[in-house]
Copies of this chain bind each other. A is one copy, B any other.
Amino acid sequence: MTTTATAPAPSASGVYDAFDPNCPTRQLLDELSDKWVCLVLVALAAGPLRHGELRRRIRGVSQKMLTQTLRALERDGIVERTITPSVPVRVDYELTPLGQSLTSVVDAVKVWAEAHMDQVDAAREDYDTRA
């Protein structure tokens, strides 16, 4: 054996399956299935942004959640953090190539939500009135 000391390998081979609760992809899927992750990535799709710019773009995120989300994404190699040691420190975040591939995927979820909101609303109304 070379790697995996604690993490139980997908299935001894190289096959990952998120349906398996012990597969590491299950945890990754959970991490990516997040409102903030989606919004952060989509916001960065247009280009690098500073911490404050992101907060202004994604209205409603607390500073804590934004930092937390960015840290996790940075650790996963999805986002890159660049520090410019100027007087007030300047920190920029931008998508890595890996991050760009993920962004196009999660962006679709956001787009879907915005595109089908009306249908969903109609369905809810129908469901609720039907009791």
- Residues on A lying within 8 angstroms of B by beta carbon are 16-21, 24-26, 28-30, 32-35, 37-39, 43, 57-60, 74-78, 98, 101-102, 105-106, 108-110, 112-117, 119-124, 126-128
Q: List 26 A-B contacts (CB under 8 A).
A: A16-B117, A17-B114, A18-B38, A18-B39, A18-B110, A19-B39, A19-B59, A20-B59, A25-B113, A26-B35, A28-B120, A29-B113, A30-B35, A32-B112, A33-B35, A33-B38, A76-B123, A76-B124, A77-B119, A77-B120, A77-B122, A77-B123, A77-B124, A78-B120, A105-B112, A109-B109
Query: Copy number of this protein in the oligomer?
Result: 2
Q: A114 contacts which of B25, B109, B114 (Cβ < 8 Å)?
A: B25
